[in-house]
Amino acid sequence: MIYWKPEKEGKPMLLCCSQRTDLCAFYSEWLVRRFQDGLVDIRNPFAPNQVLRVEFSPSQVDAVIFMTKNPTPMLDKMAVFRDYAVGFQVTVTPYGPEIEPGLTDKRQVLDSFRQLADWLGPSHMILRYDPIFLSQRYDEAFHLRAFERCCQQLAGSCTQIIISHLDLYKNTRKHQRELNWQPDSLERFAALAYRLAEIGARYGMRLQLCAENLDLRAAGIENRSCIDSEWLRALTGKTLEYPLTQARPHCQCLQVTDLGEYNSCAHHCRYCYANFDEAQIARRRALHDPQSTLLIGHVQPDDQIVMKKKSERQLRLF
């Protein structure tokens, strides 16, 4: 059964790929097909029989935000997105395979970051050095060395870095032994952030916090959001009104339409919030069909399809 979901005139459409899984790393073929067709189905994680059907075209989408730990599979596919305003947030963290068992060679990730910056421009690229946690192995000295190496590699390819402290999600608590996270980590994180900001400034990069109840403005670190109006203005050249998602405390991110699904990422990071049921991951990935309109599986006869189609954008001139 199909229902129409009325959209308010001028409501923006931001497509996020993705905060729920790594579409760029593992599902790039599917992602390209969805943009070629201009249609994607998204299963509601809280109401599994409800499917949001999104029809879109370049004129209806304000921006496409790619969030990934490995953008390399996208390099030969970027022509598909040439008519869209595109931004990348690439996460590069210094942890070993006991924390991030599924990640590829990070030197390749840095090289891909630089290539994308050459094509799109540094203002379209954001480095995410998060989450940060402190342990016996990953102490302040370790992070300072790793962060400076990263800044050296990406100098001139971006000007903005997002940092945040490790949040204790269900999956994080389950892997607390591997993480060896120390209880005073948040206080030490605040002190560490000052020194990271000094390093970033040397390479022309400014730091910002995401969803943190900390005031580090004295270090030149702003409290902003992953996806905010200022960055969208840099991507699109326009000023548009965007509602906030308010997904969690202190979150100021803008509302997006996320094309991903939870429990489908093969990075298996021990701190991940999106893989909250790891036993499902292999089974769900086996259901993936690059030809399907859904990321995982196919639309079923008893699914309730809710149609979403965006009207023309509302531009704020002043």
Question: What domains lie within the chain, and their CATH numbers?
Answer: 2-309 (3.80.30.30)
Q: What is the pLDDT of residue 2?
A: 58
CA 19 to chain centre: 5
Q: What is the pLDDT of residue 252?
A: 65
Query: Is there a contact between 51 and 42 (Cβ–Cβ < 8 Å)?
Result: yes
Q: What is the pLDDT of residue 289?
A: 99
* Number of helical H runs and strand E runs in the chain: 9, 12
Segments of the chain with pLDDT less than 70: 1-11, 169-177, 183, 211, 243-253, 309-318
Q: What is the pLDDT of residue 175?
A: 65
pLDDT in tens, 30-61: 999 999 999 999 999 999 999 999 999 999 99
Q: Is the dihedral of CA 95, 97, 100, 102 positive or negative?
A: positive
Q: Which residues, 6+ apart, have CB-to-CB distance to 152 below 8 Å?
A: 203
Q: What is the pLDDT of residue 178?
A: 72
Q: How far is CA 102 from CA 65, 105, 133, 167, 314, in A?
A: 23, 10, 19, 20, 42
